[in-house]
A and B are shown apart, each in its own frame.
Chain A
Amino acid sequence: GQQLNQSPQSMFIQEGEDVSMNCTSSSIFNTWLWYKQDPGEGPVLLIALYKAGELTSNGRLTAQFGITRKDSFLNISASIPSDVGIYFCAGQGGGAQKLVFGQGTRLTINP
């Protein structure tokens, strides 16, 4: 079945640093989504991407839908303590209702 490879699995950074994470797929997706999950809660949608090459921002977050439709990245600029959490990418193929999730990137920020 479809699989997403998300990297890095974890990141330990200083407050104020920029963060970059990415996902790659063995197959093409029509939609890429990025979610953040805090402990004990459900994932919250950060950014949705619908077109190859699309670059979308949400505050300090920027995500891009790769031209090949097999990858996406998420950048966080000037990290702050509340950015701590687990970030998941998710992709959806044509005609499929269900999402495929990456393994997650656990972000830890040292003040």
Chain B
Amino acid sequence: GAVVSQHPSWVICKSGTSVKIECRSLDFQATTMFWYRQFPKKSLMLMATSNEGSKATYEQGVEKDKFLINHASLTLSTLTVTSAHPEDSSFYICSARDGGRGSPLHFGNGTRLTVT
């Protein structure tokens, strides 16, 4: 149980274009999902908390107009990187809980974004 699916697993796009990444909870409902970014050989950095039916909560320093988050249903959150630049190239990972606040986070397999 507690499977989080992320799509696509990798994507290459040109500068200036937008890319959408999907995160789905396959066997449970998630009112809250979390989006992380990971640079090579670094730890996970929380970007934003995605809330079903309401606006996402962004961490300090994360541009909300650049990283658009939509959580339209209890099983799907999307992250759209708008007007991508090469410095947006990174590994993006989503996660969700299958229980209350104290339950552990389960992660998707991540999306490798390369902006050329």
Residues in A lying within 8 Å of B, measured CB to CB:
30-31, 33, 35, 40-45, 48, 50, 88, 90, 92, 95-99, 101-104, 106
Instruction: Kindly list chain A residues whose C-beta atoms are within 8 Å of the C-beta of B32.
Output: 97
* Total A-B pairs, Cβ < 8 A: 53
Contact B102 A42 (CB under 8 A): no
Contact B102 A33 (CB under 8 A): no
Residues in B66-116 with C-beta less than 8 Å from chain A = 91, 93, 95, 101-102, 104-110, 112
- Among A40, A42, A103, which residue has its beta carbon within 8 angstroms of that of B107? A42
Contact B43 A104 (CB under 8 A): yes
Residue of A nearest to B97 (CB): A97
Instruction: Kindly list chain A residues whose C-beta atoms are within 8 Å of the C-beta of B104.
Output: 31, 33, 45, 48
